Amino acid sequence: MKKVLITGANKSIGFETARQLLQQGYYVYLGTRNLEKGREAVSILHSEGLSQVEPIEIDVDRIESIKSAREVLGARTEVLDVLINNAGISGDMPQQSLETDVTVFRQVFETNFFGVIEVTQAFIDLLRQSSEPRIVNVTSGLGSLGMHNDPEWKYYSIKPACYVSSKAALNAYTIVLAADLRDTAFKVNAVDPGYTATDFNNHTGPGSVPDAAARVVKAAVLGADGPTGQFFSDDNAPETGISPW
């Protein structure tokens, strides 16, 4: 049974991703900042007959919490097959490049960028024990620099400075990480779940949570012949599913 850790998984897309992977036979470590909320999420999954899941307390903003989660997980398994860096924030709005205080930039980057790096580095040893390790960084279509330079793009006018910058940085890290692991069995990819109706955007998105989670799951279960170092986005590139960086 393959094992997966998902950060920010007690609700929304992360929770649905956990559900879909459980349905495919994975064992899920459901990452959550609040352990009680994680237990509540696990209880829902148990009520659906999905029992191979347990909560793991992990706050990606705090290195002490990440280290503690690594110790807890390491005591329960010697192998981690999939890491899904799903936790993310949008930050206070509006976000202008010149007017927004740099503390907001730092807050958003702490979760969306530095947190991903620290979690990945903390769990890489367990992932190396897998025969088919996968790392999925949940990004946003708004992280595409190429699309932001295209006036014809449907989201061209949407440029929250902190969020866009953090996701562009995450995309860059994904490229470098995939390159560093290119001669191994790792598959490292960025996935845009699409503009989805969640708490993240006050449920304004047109996409559904199950569809969004399915995009993340697809990258998590890639076979040995699957791609690495890609930016998957059905929203940015509906014909190919591969977004410009």
Which residues fall within 8 angstroms of residue 103, CB to CB, at 6 or more apart? none
Return the residue matching tokens 């007959």.
49
Q: Is 37 one of the catalytic residues?
A: no
Task: For Cα atoms 122, 218, 44, give the angle at the middle one, nearest 5 degrees.
Answer: 75
**Active-site entry in 2, 3, 167, 187:** 167
Q: Give residue 230's identity as a one-letter amino acid code.
A: Q
Q: Is 154 one of the catalytic residues?
A: no
**Active-site entry in 26, 29, 163, 195:** 163
Q: From the CB of residue 44, how many other CB atoms can be counted at a distance below 10 Å?
A: 12
Which residues fall within 8 angstroms of residue 123, CB to CB, at 6 or more apart? 5, 70, 73, 80, 83
Q: What helix, strand, coil percent values describe the chain, rounded to 5?
A: 45, 15, 45
Which of the residues are catalytic? 163, 167
